[in-house]
Amino acid sequence: MSAECDRDAPSRAQVVRIFLCGDVMTGRGIDQILRHPCEPRLYESYVQLATDYVQLAEQAHGAIPAPVDDAYIWGAAGNALARAQPDARIINLETSITRSDDYVPKGINYRMSPENAGVLAAARIDCCVLANNHVLDWGHAGLIDTLATLEGFGIKTAGAGRSAGQASAPAVLDIPGKGRVLVFAFASPTSGVPRDWAARGDAAGVNLLADFSDASVARIAEKIARARQPGDVVVASIHWGANWGYAIASEQRGFAHKLVDRAGVSIVHGHSSHHPKAIEVYRDRLILYGCGDFIDDYEGITGYEEFRDDLVLMHVADIARAGAELVALHMVPLQIRRFRLVVPSRDDVDWLCQTLDRECRPFGARVALAADGTLALSWARAGRAGAEHG
């Protein structure tokens, strides 16, 4: 990450650096290029076999050297993570890790074989958010397999569980010498999560966020207050909203602000959109309204080219240990090619930078290309003359 220009910026030892990204879809076509794929049959109207997605990607950009090793799909992201050295790595895992054949007839079903889950360990992922509209694609058996597989790798989970208590509990990430990061995760029906997927009592499911009401805020604030210790950084990870389009619903923005005001959340980690959306810094707390996809098998699929969903972002946030406010946000632009993350062209980086800057400006933030090739966020900091906004 590039050096901070603010002389008063905390040192690296005084911040918790967190890597966040949007949807990581390691199922379907991605699973097929790994060493131990599931049976490829699908139940979609678009194609009948998961291998068809591999063929579409190869037709678009060339042959994929399958089977690939566990590090292959991360590509240039592996080098970027090594440079950034985040203290915590958090993704939204939008697939079930299972060989269950108990598919839910919902049109699209993602699964990856448990034998391929080493792809997550290869990127040293600390926490998989599971509060989304694909974790139960292969039934409750698929969710139980997912939880067991991630536990076997020592990867924490948030947002789904074997019971309502486990689904709503935070993932607790201990950062040596720096305290803890608590990850609470929520699945909103606005992203297509079926309401009957909610965990209830001792029944497995997701931590459903039924609505954006004040009552929901109060329940979350109470849950956070019970778990929080002094110095904790709290992440609220929410799967919400539509897949396409840049508009931010007013109820989402209001809900995010209330999570900061009433629950003391440091980061609102929004996902579901297939492309990056606006970023806001409210009272010096980071709100990512939509991180966009990070890994998927969409190459060769047409229909939404204007959103450039092949261009993806690593979000690397520095959060002050004292106060838990945002110190800096840098984003690493990458591109999906042959089911692998690569460095995009300068023209593509410029397009992404200009698009994000356009979308962030109405929220009081700007995005610019930094000297090291990352995209840097700037905003008027609260507490300085005329700075507070939102």
Convert the pLDDT of each residue in 316-364 to its tens digit: 999 999 889 999 999 999 999 999 999 999 999 999 999 999 999 999 9
Rounded mean pLDDT of 285-309? 96
User: In the structure encoding, which two tokens stand for residue 21, read together?
Assistant: 């990204």
SS3 content of the chain, % helix, strand, coil (to 5): 30, 25, 45
Model pLDDT, residue 133 = 97
Model pLDDT, residue 9 = 64
User: In the structure encoding, which two tokens stand for residue 153, read together?
Assistant: 């790798």
Model pLDDT, residue 257 = 98
Reply yes or no on whether the pLDDT at 6 is more than 80.
Answer: no
Q: How far is CA 356 from CA 238, 250, 312, 351, 367, in A?
A: 20, 19, 12, 9, 6
C-beta of residue 160 within 8 angstroms of C-beta of residue 94: no
Q: What tens digit of pLDDT does each residue of 209-257 get?
A: 999 999 999 999 999 999 999 999 999 999 999 999 999 999 999 999 9
Cis bond leading into 67, ω under 30°?
Answer: yes
Angle formed at CA 73 by CA 153 and CA 338, multiple of 5 degrees:
155
Q: What tens digit of pLDDT does each residue of 260-278 get?
A: 999 999 999 999 999 999 9
User: In the structure encoding, which two tokens stand for residue 292, read together?
Assistant: 């966009």
For the whole prediction, is pTM greater than 0.85? Answer: yes
Residue type, 128: C
Report which of 385, 180, 366, 378 is spatially closest to residue 284, judged by C-alpha positions: 378
Reply yes or no on whether the pLDDT at 8 is more than 80.
Answer: no
Reply yes or no on whether the pLDDT at 1 is more than 60.
Answer: no
DSSP H helix total and E strand total for the chain: 9, 19
Reply yes or no on whether the pLDDT at 307 is more than 50.
Answer: yes
User: In the structure encoding, which two tokens stand for residue 253, read together?
Assistant: 């923005």
Model pLDDT, residue 7 = 43
Domains of the chain: 12-379 (3.60.21.10)
Model pLDDT, residue 348 = 98
Greater confidence, 355 or 1? 355
Residue 335 CA from chain centroid, whole number: 16
Give the model's confidence band at 10: pLDDT under 50 very low, under 70 low, under 90 confident, else very high.
confident
Host H or E run for residue 152: helix 139-152
Reply yes or no on whether the pLDDT at 384 is more than 50.
Answer: no
Q: How far is CA 375 from CA 23, 330, 357, in A?
A: 20, 6, 10
Reply yes or no on whether the pLDDT at 4 is more than 90.
Answer: no
Give the model's confidence band at 383: pLDDT under 50 very low, under 70 low, under 90 confident, else very high.
low
Reply yes or no on whether the pLDDT at 388 is more than 50.
Answer: no
Cα separation of 124 and 187, whole Å? 24
Model pLDDT, residue 381 = 86
Q: Which residue has the tokens 């079926």?
A: 194
Residue 379's beta-bridge partner residues?
365
Rounding to the nearest 10 degrees, give the CA dihedral for residues 144, 292, 58, 109: 30
